Chains A and B, each alone.
Chain A
Amino acid sequence: MTQLWSLMPEFWGGLRMTVLLLAVSGGLSLVLGTVITALRISPVPVLRWFAAIWTEVARNTPLTLVFFFTAFVLPMLGVRAPFLLLALVALTYYTSPFVAEALRSGINGVPVGQAEAARSIGLGFGQTVTLVVLPQAFRMTIPPLINVYIALTKNTSVAGGFFVVEMFATTRQLVNDNGNIVLPLLLVAAALYLVVTVPLGFAAVQLEKRWVVSR
């Protein structure tokens, strides 16, 4: 027990790195995902196709392969960057299409009559989207978006396999160093992941319940 307690600082460091990865790549993929969604619904066909192809390719590439690209292929191509930055790029690229899909399903979920009404009182494309559709799409988007972030939390563990010392890498290191308490260490790691994911999931369920009724 004392041995386990003495390792808590390491776990704390790992947890902080995991939360950092989650927060930064979550924020960046929200920005990128919004841009992709905007392209996806834009009046210009070329941009729609570009966004569709981007979504399709990014969604069907395994995260491990994306990480492999940023951690090994990019440095070979001459990109010099710290592994943390490369991991953030990989996570953002991989998460952005899922964010975009969540946003798009929210927009598609707004009744067509809303957009029609906005059009009929003379609002243009920009006004229709920003004043009428997006505010309504937003609340339908939050629960699936939270699910995307729960998945992102779990996906940050892949960074542990590519030179970023977050929870997974920390746990693996600690397990290697402390062969006598393998099981407790793994359970602590699992509990720490749950500390992040369970409240998020709970929030998603609560918001979904509240907003489904009010619509």
Chain B
Amino acid sequence: MSATSVLFDAPGPRARRASLIGSVVSLTAITAGAAWIIWILAAPRVSGGITLPGMFDASRWDILTDPQVWGFIGTGVAATLQAAAVAAAGAVALGVVLSLLRSSRLPWVRIPTAILLEFFRGMPVLLMMLFILLVASTGAFWAVVLALIVYNGTLIGEALRAGLAALPRGQREAALSLGMREFQSKLLVEFPQALRQMLPIIVAQLVVLLKDTSLGYIVGYNEIIRSNMNNLASFFGNRYLFTLFVVTLVIYLTINLLLSWLARWLSWRTASGSGTVAAGADPGTADPTSAIRLVQAASTAQHPGTGTHL
């Protein structure tokens, strides 16, 4: 956020006053908006001549004191995390393989991989889930997991390939001059560096993967949304729909924000670590396109979520 401080002067007394007024006005507006929403939610509502209690009435929240309900919610969370964990492991593994194939020197390996990557990147995950569900008839769990592996694996593979391409050419030349084979150089010298460079992007992609397990709701996998909102809400009645929605939202936000912060922390750590490497490299001998790619890759790494996401 260095740009922000440059866009306006260090505020003098008048600007400070204007900023203070702006702060107070906007804070009032935001508070008023929030209060309005809360007031609407809290108001009792009339439906078909019957008056129902507002959204914050105790009778809408009493199920949360029931440990069995929490046990059921826990099952949903476990199902989501299980699908996410299996898919994450698979996606990283597939990504590694794809990035190696994609950056191969053999055209008959590289080109089909590139086409395959393009194909899977342009397709909705949901359609893939439906595809696997119907064509392979694997059941909902594997439909969700396999589709997420294929989709996120291609994106992680693409990120790793960009990382490989962004490495200084000297790394490879040095490895080859030491007598390493092409594949040894790739696996022992280039790949570990690319992986480290792209780690924040990969973790950001895993957040996306976790969010996408919620698509299981549509194809019939009992993850959090389906188990909370469909099963619990239909068991206890529509009265608790809002309550269960809030619970689900809080669970998702907690898990995802923790993962996002991990991604940001990794990004900050790798950025500070690679700074010395970049400063040590001689700009004169570096390949200009690879330098540009490195800058791009680094700038994407600074903002996980803007590169590969959703």
Contact = CB atoms under 8 A, between A and B. Distances in A.
A128 B123 contact: no
B123 A61 contact: no
A90 B284 CA distance: 50
Contacts of B9: 119
A158 B19 contact: no
B242 A76 contact: yes
B3 A41 contact: yes
Interface string B43-84: 001010000000100000000000000000000000000000
B124 A168 contact: yes
Interface bracket on B? 35 or more
B214 interface: yes
Contacts of A198: 118, 122
Given A43-B11, A151-B309, A158-B215, A201 B229 contact: no
A189 B253 contact: no
Interface stretch (B21-29, B176-184, B192-200): B21-29
Secondary structure class of chain B's binding surface, majority of residues: helix
Contact of A129 (B7, B19, B118, B260): B7
B220 to A, nearest CB: 11
Interface in A7-34: none
Contacts of A138: none
B7 A128 contact: yes
B97 interface: no
Given A78-B45, A175-B130, A63 B211 contact: yes
A105 B299 contact: yes
Contacts of A57: 253
A158 B241 CA distance: 21
Nearest to A212: B292
A193 B124 contact: yes
Given A125-B8, A158-B215, A194-B123, A61 B3 contact: no
A57 B215 CA distance: 19
A104 B123 CA distance: 27
Given A60-B207, A171-B130, A161 B7 contact: no
A102 B123 contact: no
A68 B246 CA distance: 12
B211 A150 contact: no
A102 B306 contact: yes
B19 A43 contact: yes
A124 B11 CA distance: 12
B253 A168 contact: no
B277 interface: no
B19 A119 contact: no
Secondary structure class of chain A's binding surface, majority of residues: helix
Contacts of A157: 124-127
Contacts of B45: 77-78
A157 B125 CA distance: 9
B249 A61 contact: yes
A133 B308 CA distance: 25
B121 interface: yes
A139 interface: no
A98 to B, nearest CB: 6
B7 A201 contact: no
Interface in A35-74: 41, 43-48, 50, 56-57, 59-65, 68-69, 72-73
Contact of B217 (A116, A119, A161): A161
B218 interface: yes
A81 interface: no
Contacts of A212: 292, 296
Contacts of A73: 241-242, 245
A192 to B, nearest CB: 10
B122 A108 contact: no
Nearest to B212: A62
Contacts of A89: none
Contact of B22 (A43, A104, A172): A43
A182 B135 contact: yes
A115 B7 contact: yes
23 contacts: A46-B26, A57-B253, A59-B260, A63-B214, A64-B215, A65-B252, A73-B241, A77-B41, A105-B299, A119-B8, A144-B306, A154-B310, A157-B127, A161-B126, A171-B130, A182-B135, A189-B127, A190-B123, A190-B127, A193-B122, A193-B127, A212-B292, A212-B296
Given A157-B125, A158-B215, 12 more contacts: A47-B22, A48-B4, A50-B30, A72-B229, A154-B123, A156-B124, A161-B215, A186-B131, A190-B119, A190-B131, A193-B124, A198-B122
